[in-house]
Amino acid sequence: MQNPKNSIELSQILCEIHTWELNHLPEFNSSSGKIIFMGLLHAFCTEGGPAVKKTPMKTFYHNDLACDRTMRGKLKELHQLGLIQYHRNDSDLRCKHAYPSAKLIDKLNRYTQQVNAIIGQYFFLIEQPSAPQQLAIESSSNPLSVSARPHQSERLLR
């Protein structure tokens, strides 16, 4: 059975992360902005930082949470703010990809550091040797073990 204290702490973590996002990432506060931010964050984390792969634009357009027009408008806005860049495939000009600019990569790094700091207020984070030093969140290519506070240190959360 799950420890109720851990559930409360996880809820507090989510609230703190959300508050930080509202204050520091205003351009991503809409649902379309969140979809784009999380898509780019996922690519950023799985590719290991600045060598992030370019995400096909159609992955943003075709989702169940926002219409194509909304997503296109948000992508255009983020491009005008200098947060994302576009790349066209030389072999197939119909394919357009988005990727984070240096400005957004800086925000992604600050975001991962802040998430790590917030989680670290409630749990001890133990980096595994294979995890890159730059990223501090869990993904399939960047494993972290999370240990609860000292009085529960014998139990590791994955």
pLDDT at residue number 80 = 95
DSSP 3-state of 84: strand
Asked if residue 76 lies in contact with residue 20, where contact means CB atoms within 8 angstroms, the answer is no
Domains of the chain, each with CATH number or no CATH: 4-122 (1.10.10.10)
Can you list the positions of beta strands (E) in 34-143?
Answer: 55-56, 84-88, 96-100, 124-127
75 — phi, psi (to 5°)? -60, -40
Q: What percent of the chain has pLDDT over 70?
A: 75
Indicate whether this model's pTM tops 0.75. no
Is pLDDT larger for residue 131 or for residue 115? 115
The single residue listed with the structure tokens 């703190």 is 16
For residue 49, name the pLDDT band (cuts at 50, 70, 90): low
Distances (CA, A) of 4 to 10, 11, 95, 145: 10, 11, 48, 20
- The set of residues, in sequence order, having a beta carbon less than 8 Å from that of 85 and lying 6+ positions away, is 79, 98, 99, 100, 101
